[in-house]
Every structure is written in structure tokens, then in C-alpha cells.
Amino acid sequence: MNHKTTHKKTFSPQLSRKRQLGTERQALPLSNLHDQPPGHVVVFSRLAIVLTILFWAMYVTSVVIRQLIDGPQSYQFTVEVFGYLVVVTFLTLSALVYLIARQGAFQRFSKHIRVPRAVLDKYFSVHQPSITVLIPSYSEETQVIRKTMLSAALQEYPDIRVVLLLDDNPFEVRAENLARLEATRALSSEIEALLSKPHERFSKALAHFKDSNLKNETLTREVILKIAAHYMWAAKWLNRVAEKEVIEDHVDIFFADQVLRELARDLSFVGEALVASHEEGAQLSVDRILQLYCRLIWIFSAKLEVFERRRYISLSHELNKAMNLNSYIGLMGGMYRQDQTPDGIVLLPTTDRESADMIIHDSEFTLTLDADSILLREYCLRLVYFLQQPDNADIAVAQTPYSSFRGAPTRLERLSGATTDIQHIIHQGMSHYDATFWVGANAVIRKRALEDIVEKEWVGGFEIKRYVQDRTVIEDTESSIDLALHGWRLVNYPERLSYSATPPDFGSLVIQRRRWANGGLLILPKLWALIRERKNKGRPISKLEFMIRINYMASIAWSNLGLVFLLAYPYDGRLLSPLVLLAAMPY
């Protein structure tokens, strides 16, 4: 299908959380495809950039320079003038970079053409690169993880493996957490059991079709009706699963409606289209029928497992998301024996499959996915297809910056969700200027690129591999610079295909934003290294790319610091001017 996805709400349940005044009532997500910006919007966007620069320049010339000439010729006043100018300039720079990124996003939205579904089906019927979804989790609620795992398992992808990287301490479990931990460990087998019935049904149907029709030049109309019936059955099965979902908040509504019911609607649409083609006497090729059968199998064929690195003393036990990911990525493609020692279990590499206690499958791509995120059904299909195009061979990371769940029951969650949706647009614009950063909530990563940036060290007699940097609390940003240093590009795919939870309370919001602010400053030296590297290779960073990257890494820190100075220090009133407000007005 090659149509713009619209969302329909099928029910309106009573939620268990009380809704605050001033919250968003609309729970329907925005369309997967961004609207193409009208011409006048693009013109106004450019005008906003010009006005911001103009009003800032007018403030500098008419206020700052004039005060330096005509004002008191004292050291204190001069310091105040320059201090105030620095604060205003940096705040204006942040507003300007947002407007520039927004303009870049408009350019990308206007040029994006969605790949037709039939093209994807044809491509993946021949090419089936493997992908492993890695979901790092620590002390997450079981039902939250289940939605994430099931959204990944229901990806319409031919060769997908979903691995929950459970990082809770398996040896020191409090009594109140034991039931939750056991339920989380059982998720992989529960989801595989859930998907087994449709998978077996469609596998048998495909085998029967191959036995009966592969040698035929033309297909009977009964063949078309049969596959249409399978699509309708799959739609009904998904709707039954959706009806059994426990609905407690807006995220549950999203999962039931946009993951389960939306997939059911799409399959039902295909089934109805097949029936209509039968009634009109249309003929479908054997290859097309094979593609349609394969699609049904792909939806329900995911393999799931749970891995706990802290069971093994040969793996890093550093308590952070990056090392949880690194521990598993470092094992991929190997076979291992479990050797019990007085200190604990050690994983020893082996080449003998029969003696191996653990086989970790390798894959061409990995998808890192936060445990509170949800993917729409074509996320893997479209991003891997994009990465497989010849012109994109140097792209290491493709992602759709996550959007927030609509209909949050608290005002603060609505506000943090709004900033998340603004960041989605900013990140799309950053790709236009080749200044993309990896956003760690979800991303498809080329495994070969991770091998390029791996760092190895020996700790306690065991080799520890670091693919994703763990020296800072924003590991994705630092790894973005590492990939760029090795010549790789990163791209934001211009569609909404992923969603993630936003901080529900003020404490969580402060912790998140403080982490973002401090982390960017810590890795600024790597940005200077990237600038030098690109200059030495004859591909210097453009001024726009530099502005966007430095703003992304440091703007939270300088904005907060600047606002504190404006509020706390009694600047001379002669420095105030409406031009400052006018410069901020376009933003």
C-alpha cells in the first residue's frame, strides 16, 4: 500500500489515572507521513531566520555599541555590557539554530516520497538481511516491556530476533520484586507461544500453495479467495488480541489501537482488495501470491529470548545501558560454554557446536530499542530497505526520532511530550545539514559500523568490548561522533514510526534534562577532533553543521546558565531593549 496512514480510534475506555485540567484530550497520534509544507510556510520560515539575525544585529549596533560609546566608562559597566551581550547572543543562537533546523525539516518533508508497499515486498522476497532487536531493561514494569517486545515481534520483517537484555541483579532479588522479575523472564516464551498459532497456520498454507501452484502458469480464482481468507483471519486474530489488552493509560490505548488494530485494519484492507480483484476477474502472478503469503509469515515469525549478562562474571557488570548493550553485541556470532568457577559462571568461546551451551546469532543489523518504546509495524522494513540502497552504503545509523504518546493525563507529561515532538522536527532538519545525532531510544545500526568503533580492554582477565561509549550519560551522542570520525553517516528517516514514553513527573524530567545538559559538555573535545579529522581529509565541516552540532551538545547548559544570570544579576537597565524580544519573536 502506498497511501498516507491515517488513524482511527475504535474505542474510548475508562482510564485508571485521573486526568488533570489542561491536559490533551486527543489520543490519536499524528500521521506517519509529515504534511508537505505549503509554499507560504517555507517563505515565512526563511523570513523568520532573517528577522532573528536582523533584530539581533540591530540590538548590538543600537544598544550595545552605543552604550559602550556613550555610557559610563567604567570597568563594571563594560563587563556588564559584554556579559549581557554574550547571554543574549547565545540564547539568540539557540533560537536561530531551531529555525534553521525547522527550515531543513521542511525541505526534507517536501522531497520525501514513500516507497510503495509492493516494492518492499518484492525486495525482501529476494533480499533478507537479518536484524537483532536489543531491548536493554532495568527495573521496568513487565507490562511496559511486553508492549515493547510485542511491537518489535510484530514487525513485518523476514528475519528478526528480539532479545530482552535484562539487567536486574539475578542473585539479589527483593521479595517484592521476585514476581515481577519472573514474569519478565517469561515474556519471550509467552509471546512466542502467542504467535505460534498464526505462524503455523500460514506456514502450512504457504507450503500447500507451493506444492499445488508453483508449476502453474495461471492461478485459479479459488487461490485468490483462499489467501484473502487468510488475511481476514489474521485481522480477526489481531483484533481478538487487542480486545484482551488491559487498558490503564494512554500508552495502552496507543498499543492496542495503533499496533494491533492498525495492523488488523491493514490486513483486512488487503483481504478485501483480493476479494474485489477476484470479483473483477483480475489475475495475480505466482510471485505476487508468494509475496503475500510471506508477509503473513513474517509478521508472526519473530524469535524471542531473554539474556542476563549479570549471571556471568566474564562480562562487564557496570550499571549502565551502554555496557548492557555492549556485553551482548560483543558475544554476537559466537558459541560459548558455561564454565562454573568459585567466583561464578564464565563464558568460554568454543568452535564445537555440540558442546556449546549458548549460541549467540549474528546479524547484519541491530536495532537498539528502549524498554518503554513502541515501534509501528513497518519500522524495520522501511529503515533496512533505506540502508540497503547503494547510495546509502556509508550510513551507519538510520532512525525515526521518537514521538510522544498523545493523550497524557498530566500537564507536565503533556509539556515534556510537546518538547519531544519539537525535537522530532529538529532532528529531521539536522539530517538536512548532515549534522545528525543518534537518538538512543530506537535506531537501526549497521553491525559493521559498530565493529569499526569498538574499543577493547582487559578487566579482571576478561576482554571487555565497548561499541557504544559508556563514559558519559548520553552514550548515543558520543557514539555519533565516533561513527562520524570513522567516515560513517547518520540519517533520520522522515516518517513517524516510533513512540516513546516521556517523563510523567517533575523529578523524572529534571533528572533527564540534567543528564542531557551535562553529557554534551563532557564530549565536546571529540567534536573538535571530528573537525580536525574532516579538515585533514579535505571535507571540512560547514559552518551550519558546526552551529547545529555545538548547539545540540551545549545549548541546554548555556541556556540554563544564561537564564540564571538574567534572573539573578541586576543588569543595568540601559541594556534592556524591545529588540531582544523581537529577536526571540520568530522562535
DSSP codes joined into one string, 165-219: EE-S-SSS--HHHHHHHHHHHTHHHHHHHHHHHHHHHHHHHHHHHHHHHTT-SS-
pLDDT for position 66: 86
Residue that wins the pLDDT comparison between 1 and 416: 416
Distances in Å between the Cα of 152 and the Cα atoms of 119, 135, 156, 498, 551 are 22, 10, 9, 11, 33
The set of cell numbers assigned to 552 is: 545540540
Q: Tell me if 365 sits within 8 A of 157, measured CB to CB.
A: no
- For 140, the 3-state DSSP assignment is coil
Q: Alpha-carbon torsion 342, 347, 352, 356, what sign? A: positive
Over range 404-410, report the average pLDDT: 85
In percent, the amount of the chain with pLDDT more than 90 equals 68
Amino acid identity at 413: E
Choose the weakest-confidence range: 227-231, 278-282, 367-371.
278-282
Q: Is residue 177 part of a domain?
A: no
CA proximity to 365, closest of 161, 147, 146, 151: 161
Residue that wins the pLDDT comparison between 14 and 215: 215
d(CA 448, CA 211): 39
Tell me: the pLDDT tens digits for 414-441?
888 888 888 899 999 999 999 999 987 8
Residue that wins the pLDDT comparison between 174 and 518: 174
Over range 352-371, report the average pLDDT: 95
Whole-structure pTM value: 0.91
Q: Tell me if 497 sits within 8 A of 259, measured CB to CB.
A: no
- For 83, the 3-state DSSP assignment is helix
Q: Place 217 in a pLDDT band, splitting at 50, 70 and 90.
A: low
Burial 534-549 (b: 16+ CB within 10 A, else e): beeeeeebeebbbbbb
Q: Is residue 572 part of a domain?
A: yes
Instruction: Specify which of 60-74, 218-232, 481-495 reaches the highest per-range mean pLDDT.
Output: 481-495
In percent, the amount of the chain with pLDDT more than 70 equals 93
pLDDT for position 255: 96
d(CA 463, CA 320): 18
d(CA 428, CA 384): 18
**Domains of the chain: total:** 1
Q: Is residue 571 part of a domain?
A: yes
Tell me: the pLDDT tens digits for 490-532?
999 999 999 998 877 777 677 666 666 666 777 888 899 999 9
Is the per-residue pLDDT at 21 higher than 80? no
pLDDT for position 418: 84
Is the per-residue pLDDT at 537 higher than 60? yes
d(CA 282, CA 190): 41
Q: Is residue 325 part of a domain?
A: no
d(CA 488, CA 397): 8
Q: Place 408 in a pLDDT band, splitting at 50, 70 and 90.
A: confident
d(CA 518, CA 526): 15
Q: Is residue 369 part of a domain?
A: no
Over range 89-98, report the average pLDDT: 95
Looking at the DSSP bridge assignments, the partners of residue 459 are: 462
Q: Is residue 53 part of a domain?
A: yes
Q: Is residue 78 part of a domain?
A: yes
pLDDT for position 22: 67
d(CA 145, CA 155): 16
d(CA 251, CA 270): 27
Q: Is residue 203 part of a domain?
A: no
pLDDT for position 71: 80
d(CA 329, CA 451): 10
pLDDT for position 516: 63
Residue that wins the pLDDT comparison between 93 and 24: 93
- 462-466/358-360 β-pairing: unpaired
Tell me the residue range of the domain where 575 lies.
Answer: 39-113+561-584
Over range 224-249, report the average pLDDT: 95
pLDDT for position 3: 46
Q: Place 454 in a pLDDT band, splitting at 50, 70 and 90.
A: very high
pLDDT for position 473: 61
The set of cell numbers assigned to 438 is: 543518534
Contacts of residue 160, Cβ cutoff 8 Å, sequence gap at least 6: 130, 131, 132, 133, 152, 153, 301, 302, 303, 380
Q: Tell me if 242 sits within 8 A of 256, measured CB to CB.
A: yes
> What average pLDDT does the structure give for the chain?
90
